[in-house]
């Protein structure tokens, strides 16, 4: 470890020095506890008897070696304060932990697995110009061996269930909710006690590596939720680790989060190195393809409150960490879950930005879901909830999420949020999703949404897979699968997500009829999207489409195979009459056409995908 970088808050490999590592015979244990008066080691290898560590380097680090320690054995530190009292702690840099409520760290040999994903790692990209359709999943509830709350499949056991399902349904990335160790099942991993420990609920570090490796060999990328904002209050973890506020703020006014957890003190260089090393650890040791960083607004602003001002030191930490991560892993994805309008979230650090690749568009999510909650008679007055997103879209590189946060805690599922009675919810949900996939920006959908589930997500239960026995749910599931596969196979859906010439409104002033029309371009392809979000069939909707000779149907949300009312011939092409197309759109429907052009000298020429600068894109929009 580079101690100068560690004390400068810029060390991404602190985990290779701190923690417990096999060296010669046995393991060497090292811990950072500058204010401790004494640190001792207890574990299975020494009969849980205290062995004192000795100070090394500048006296802030403690070390001991044991020849008899073996992989899989448990250990803890007893950290003594200056008044002689002690607290038993798990290892802050430990690579494994017991299943809650126990908390001993577990010795791991991180070299005991060899990945076989060389081709994936060589060819993966940040997906900015490619398709990115993410299936978000909580590993403990995707599939369960029994109905018992504590019954979970291991990482390896999930491989034959999870990977074929994701492939069959057209997603190309998985996003796992946090896999670090955590004490409370209900926190889903967002309040950590072991930021370097894959949760023992699902097995071991090697098991997680096998799962990620299998995903890569199947052509599926893996993103993991990472929480650099706060940690669990449990006394055995980071809180008051050496008898002082080593990782957290000493002042509760800024040290306690809205969730009652401890906020990391991002102004302390050792904490910066801890978090930067943790992020790098998952990307390096597990070949994770990206990190979605939770609650970034709580780093940007004090306690997430814009009224309290910008936390400039914490913002500087984000820039430093992201810059280091991108230097080490240029093709890894860094996504910010941030609901603020703070500028430059996805702008490179060297240009003054925070250095993320993507930002969750929570404004789009809220406006869209609120629109679909409305009775159709009120959608006229709220028509521009669905056009507003394109007013700011090129400020950042946005990702469109319908995540776990939208289907818990009394918010209702996506399907339930649709206005009206049971039968009316399905056509609206199909239209919503075609709108989402047609809209610029990468996509994220939470496990169970694709079933049209009507029960909120519960971390203790599987999704209601059995509802696919009902034809209307099975048809919706088929629609979601076909939508993903269509998205993946047509570059106009994704190639120019962040280039202003990849999107164009054709008609966004049909307030009285709740009609919308836009065009997407990319890869030498043009796609037309039409939407009728009213509860009445809308006939004679005219559109003049520059350079188009005919339209080929790609997706129609009202096809009978999706639970709709129309039997359609996919091969039939729509032709204009005197240069104008006229459409009849059923109630609550969405359509996607491929635009056929005049060959040679058409209005649209193919252009290569270039990664745009969000700021310059905004200037040109």
Cβ atoms of 576 and 542 closer than 8 Å: no
- 66 catalytic? Reply is no
Nearest partner of 140 among 124, 162, 121, judged by Cα: 162
By DSSP bridging, strand 61-66 and strand 27-32 are antiparallel
Out of 181, 294, 338, 497, the active site residue is: 294
d(CA 144, CA 155): 12
Q: In sequence order, what are the residues at sequence separation of 6 or more whose Cβ sits closer than 8 angstroms to the Cβ of residue 24?
A: 67
Please state the length of the chain: 621
Between CA 481 and CA 449 the distance in angstroms is: 12
d(CA 380, CA 613): 35
The pair of three-digit structure tokens given for residue 171, joined into one six-digit string: 């997603």
Question: What CA–CA distance (Å, rounded) separates 240 from 247?
Answer: 8
Residue written as token pair 């997103």: 389
Is it true that the peptide bond before 490 is cis, omega within 30 degrees of 0?
Answer: no
Q: How far is CA 214 from CA 115, 123, 196, 209, 211, in A?
A: 9, 16, 21, 9, 5
Distance between CA atoms of residues 487 and 581, nearest Å = 24
Q: Is 337 a catalytic residue?
A: yes
Which phi and psi (to 5°) does residue 282 adopt? -70, -40
- Contact between 191 and 235 (Cβ < 8 Å): no
Q: Which of 180, 166, 173, 391 is nearest to 281 (CA)?
A: 180
How far, in Å, CA of 58 to CA of 1, rounded?
A: 14
Cβ–Cβ contacts within 10 Å for residue 135, how many?
A: 24
Catalytic residue among 337, 396, 495, 597: 337
DSSP 235: T
Strand partners, 505: 518
Catalytic residues: 294, 337
């Amino acid at each position: 470890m580079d101690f100068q970088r560690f004390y400068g808050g810029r060390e991404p490999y602190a985990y290779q020095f701190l923690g417990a590592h096999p060296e010669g015979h046995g393991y060497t244990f090292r811990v950072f506890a500058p204010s401790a008066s004494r640190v001792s080691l207890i574990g299975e290898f020494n009969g849980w008897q205290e062995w004192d560590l000795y100070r090394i380097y500048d006296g802030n680090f403690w070390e001991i070696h044991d020849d008899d320690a073996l992989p899989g054995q448990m250990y803890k530190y007893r950290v003594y304060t200056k008044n002689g009292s002690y607290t038993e702690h798990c290892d802050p840099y430990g690579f494994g932990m017991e299943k809650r409520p126990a908390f001993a760290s577990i010795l791991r040999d991180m070299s005991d697995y060899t990945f076989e994903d060389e081709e994936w790692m060589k060819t993966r990209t940040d997906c900015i110009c490619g398709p990115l359709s993410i299936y978000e999943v909580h590993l403990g509830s995707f599939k369960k061996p029994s109905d018992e709350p504590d019954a979970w499949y291991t990482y390896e056991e999930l491989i034959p269930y999870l990977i074929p399902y994701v492939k069959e349904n057209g997603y190309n990335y998985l996003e796992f909710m946090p896999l670090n160790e955590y004490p409370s099942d209900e926190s889903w991993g967002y309040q950590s006690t072991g930021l370097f420990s894959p949760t023992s609920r699902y097995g071991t570090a090697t098991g997680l590596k096998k799962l990620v490796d299998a995903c890569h060999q199947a052509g599926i990328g893996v993103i993991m939720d990472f929480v650099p904002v706060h940690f669990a209050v449990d006394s055995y973890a980071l809180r008051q680790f050496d008898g002082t506020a080593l990782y957290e703020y000493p002042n509760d006014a800024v040290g306690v989060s809205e969730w009652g957890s401890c906020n990391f003190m991002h102004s302390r260089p050792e904490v910066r190195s801890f978090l930067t090393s943790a992020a790098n650890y998952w990307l390096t040791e597990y070949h994770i393809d990206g990190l979605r960083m939770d609650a970034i607004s709580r780093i940007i602003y004090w306690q997430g409150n814009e009224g309290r001002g910008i936390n400039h030191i914490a913002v500087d930490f984000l820039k430093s960490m992201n810059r280091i991560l991108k230097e080490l892993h240029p093709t890894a994805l860094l996504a910010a879950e941030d609901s603020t309008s703070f500028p430059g979230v996805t702008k490179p650090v060297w240009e003054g930005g925070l250095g993320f690749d993507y930002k969750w568009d929570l404004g789009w999510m809220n406006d869209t879901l609120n629109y679909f909650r409305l009775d159709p008679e009120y959608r006229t007055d709220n028509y521009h909830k669905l056009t507003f997103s394109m007013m700011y879209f090129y400020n950042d590189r946005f990702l469109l999420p319908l995540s776990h946060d939208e289907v818990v805690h009394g918010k209702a599922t996506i399907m339930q949020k649709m206005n009206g009675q049971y039968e009316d919810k399905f056509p609206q949900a199909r239209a919503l999703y075609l709108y989402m996939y047609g809209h610029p920006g990468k996509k994220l959908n939470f496990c169970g949404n694709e079933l049209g589930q009507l029960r909120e997500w519960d971390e203790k239960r599987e999704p209601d897979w059995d509802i696919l026995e009902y034809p209307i749910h099975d048809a919706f599931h088929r629609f979601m699968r076909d939508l993903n596969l269509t998205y993946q196979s047509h570059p106009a859906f994704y190639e120019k997500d962040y280039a202003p010439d990849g999107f164009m409104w054709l008609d966004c002033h049909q307030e009285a009829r709740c009609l919308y029309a836009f065009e997407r371009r990319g890869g030498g392809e043009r796609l037309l999207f039409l939407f009728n979000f009213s509860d009445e069939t809308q006939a004679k909707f005219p559109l003049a489409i520059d350079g188009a000779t005919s339209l080929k149907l790609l997706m129609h949300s009202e096809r009978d195979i999706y639970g709709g009312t129309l039997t359609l011939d996919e091969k039939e092409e729509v032709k204009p009459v005197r240069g104008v197309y006229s459409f009849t759109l059923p109630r609550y429907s969405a359509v996607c056409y491929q635009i056929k052009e005049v060959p040679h000298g058409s209005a649209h020429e193919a252009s290569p995908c270039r990664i745009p600068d969000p700021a310059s894109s905004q200037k040109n929009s």
